[in-house]
Amino acid sequence: MTQSQPNGPQLARLAALLADETRASFCLALLDGRAWTAGELARLAGVAASTASEHLSRLVAGGLLAEERQGRHRYVRLAGPQVAQLIEDLSGHAAPPPAPRTLRAAGAGEAMARARTCYDHLAGRLGTAITDAMLERGLLEGTTGFALTEAGVDWFGRLGVDLASAPRGRRPMARSCLDWTERRPHLAGVAGAALCRHALDAGWCVRIGTQRALRVSEEGRRALSGLLGVRTADL
């Protein structure tokens, strides 16, 4: 039996879940791919714990978040890659944020623009620089969206990354994702997630604080320069 197409009220209910600044900020924070407690998200948004709990319950009931409990703590995360893609795509179409008012905010914004995670793949100038390099070297084909070439599969294999055994489900092997700071695509999908996981595990990138921003290590600069010819100035 085929699933019927969502109707107007269903789409309106989904849109209403994100038509609130607090709930939207929760979803953006969870794009780091990790699980957060309700208290952490409440502090992030500057709302009371009871208010955060109410918003999170609505997001869970609407299928955008998944939750689990460990003792007294309630953890939530995005319900899956499809939800992350929805949030990131909407971010790419949103108006640019206003100019930061403090040096601290400006520094945080620049760090996010330079290198960050987009759920489970690399984004910002780092993500687009890597994607551009993979396209130039024939590891990716980008005529109609992104597709990993045979040379690309071999390249991952030389890194020690077996894409055949990577968790996939219904995700494509490679997918373009609109980068909301660069306004052009970076690599997502199974291959994008595998590359991000390898970069973190190998110490090429290090998370900065509790946000999605990343710092490229000296080892990472050498590796990306040697493997892809990515200029350190882009990192």
For 114, the 3-state DSSP assignment is helix
Answer positive or negative: Cα dihedral of 77, 83, 88, 90: negative
Kindly state the helix (H) or strand (E) to which residue 13 belongs, with its residue range.
helix 8-18
Q: Which of 55, 79, 103 is the last residue of a domain?
A: 79
Q: Which of 19, 46, 79 is the last residue of a domain?
A: 79
CA-to-CA distance for 151 and 105, rounded, in angstroms? 41
More confident call, 177 vs 7: 177
> Is the pLDDT reported for residue 69 higher than 80?
yes
- Same domain flag for 47 and 106: no
- Same domain flag for 61 and 13: yes
A 10 A CB-CB count for 195 gives 24
Number of domains in the chain: 2
Beta strand 185-188 with 116-118: parallel, antiparallel or unpaired?
Answer: unpaired
**CA 119 to chain centroid:** 3
Whether this prediction's pTM lies above 0.85 is answered by no
- Same domain flag for 162 and 196: yes
218 occurs within a structural domain: yes
* Strand runs labelled E in the chain: 36-37, 65-70, 73-78, 116-118, 121-123, 140-141, 147-148, 175-178, 185-188, 205-207, 214-216
Beta partners for residue 118, in sequence order: 121
185 occurs within a structural domain: yes
CA-to-CA distance for 171 and 126, rounded, in angstroms? 23
Contact (CB, 8 A) for 191 and 131: no
What is the residue range of 148's domain?
A: 90-234
Contact (CB, 8 A) for 140 and 149: yes
pLDDT in tens, 198-220: 999 999 999 987 568 999 999 99
pLDDT in tens, 113-157: 899 998 899 999 999 999 999 999 999 999 888 999 999 999 999
Q: What is the pLDDT of residue 194?
A: 95
By residue count, the chain amounts to 235
Backbone angles phi, psi at 121, to 5 degrees: -135, 170
